[in-house]
């Protein structure tokens, strides 16, 4: 089972396959990596978070759902982090 949400591996694979049908997959290439490095420096992000944010910005996303990043943070006046578990 996966640790965080206790899915069987087969269930996690099925969910992942479903998401592939619904979402655009953005490849991490040189331009994504360069953008991630810039974002990490400007926003004090971890390497992995900066890659996620860079890919979302390149895909012209406006909302990034994450329980690990700061709820409400806005990147480059385009992308807002929303924690789906945030309680007001």
Q: What is the pTM of this model?
A: 0.79
CA 24/CA 59 separation, integer angstroms: 8
CA 59/CA 52 separation, integer angstroms: 11
Closest CA to 88 of 71, 64, 69, 66: 71
3-state secondary structure (DSSP) of residue 60: coil
Q: Which band of pLDDT confidence, cut at 50, 70 and 90, is reported for residue 1?
A: very low
Q: In this predicted model, what pLDDT tens digit does every residue of 16-49 receive, in sequence order?
A: 999 899 988 888 999 999 999 999 999 999 999 9
Positions of E strands within 9-86: 63-65, 74-75, 79-82
Give the pair of three-digit tokens for residue 17: 């396959």
């Amino acid at each position: 089972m996966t640790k965080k949400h206790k899915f069987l591996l087969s269930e996690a694979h099925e969910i992942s396959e479903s998401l592939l049908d619904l979402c655009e997959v953005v490849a991490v290439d040189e331009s994504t990596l360069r953008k991630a490095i810039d974002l990490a420096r400007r926003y004090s992000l971890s390497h992995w978070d900066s890659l996620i944010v860079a890919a979302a910005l390149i895909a012209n996303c406006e909302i990034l759902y994450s329980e690990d990043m700061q709820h409400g943070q806005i990147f480059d006046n385009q992308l807002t982090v929303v924690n789906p578990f945030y309680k007001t």
